Amino acid sequence: MDLEVERILDGIGPRLRELRRGRGLTLEALATATGISVSTLSRLESGNRRPTLDLLIPLARAHRVALDQIVAAPASGDPRVHLTPLRKAEGSVLVPLTQYPGRVQVFKQVLSPREPKLVAHEGHEWLYVLAGELRLVLGEREFLLRPGEVAEFDTGEPHWFGPAGTRAVEILHLYGPHGDQAVVRAGPSAP
């Protein structure tokens, strides 16, 4: 058997155990939910039984996850399918939605409260507020953005953005490293 296939198969048992424990389920409760015996589940988790589709499909359903999450299938090349959140020290979370070096980068971010610190660098940014309130500082100017509102600015101007208060804010963040700017081809119809 191929070493890569062997490695994938060996990782399934520990993932199944982690999923079950993460949901606070006993082997007995999972057996009831899936119709798979406690003995079989235990042997799957310990690696003493090879996983088969007829066992993995009910487990994926019971855990409400995609089958490839249990199997840890190799990435398909589509970054929307295998998103990897990056947790920052101050409690913020960054989820890269694109992976195009040198082109516009797109992120979903959840920003936790922190002290403003202005930065300036080459590029152009767009911020779209999904939830919460965003405080944006551009040089001497300050803006408060609410869900559905957008800001666009040249990152050469000193700037900072984060939650407007003590609660996190969720945004879509586009960054053009070379000053790329959006070209509007269609807009709202005239009244």
Query: For residue 66, what pLDDT band results from cuts at 50, 70 and 90?
Result: confident
Task: State which of 9-23, 33-47, 87-101, 175-189 shows the largest mean pLDDT.
Answer: 33-47
Rounded mean pLDDT of 125-130?
Answer: 94
Residue 185 has pLDDT above 80, yes or no: no
- For 8, list phi and psi in degrees, rounded to 5: -65, -45
Residue 80 has pLDDT above 50, yes or no: no
- H helix or E strand, kind and range, residue 144: strand 141-145
Spell out the domain ranges in the chain.
3-71, 86-176
Rounded mean pLDDT of 77-90?
Answer: 65
- H helix or E strand, kind and range, residue 129: strand 124-131
pLDDT of residue 35: 95
Question: What is the tens place of the pLDDT at every residue in 133-172?
Answer: 999 999 999 999 999 999 999 999 999 999 999 999 999 9
pLDDT of residue 77: 52
Q: Which residue has the higher pLDDT, 182 or 18?
A: 18
- Residues 86-176: name the CATH superfamily: Jelly Rolls (2.60.120.10)
Provide the percentage of residues in the chain whose pLDDT is more than 90: 49
pLDDT of residue 71: 83
Mean pLDDT rounded to a whole number for the chain: 85
Residue 89 has pLDDT above 80, yes or no: no
From residue 41, how far is each of 12, 56, 167, 169 by CA, in Å?
12, 10, 42, 41
Integer-rounded Cα radius of gyration of the chain: 23
pLDDT of residue 141: 96
Q: What is the pTM of this model?
A: 0.56
CATH entry 1.20.200.10 includes domain 3-71 = no
Residue 79 has pLDDT above 60, yes or no: no
Rounded mean pLDDT of 86-93?
Answer: 80
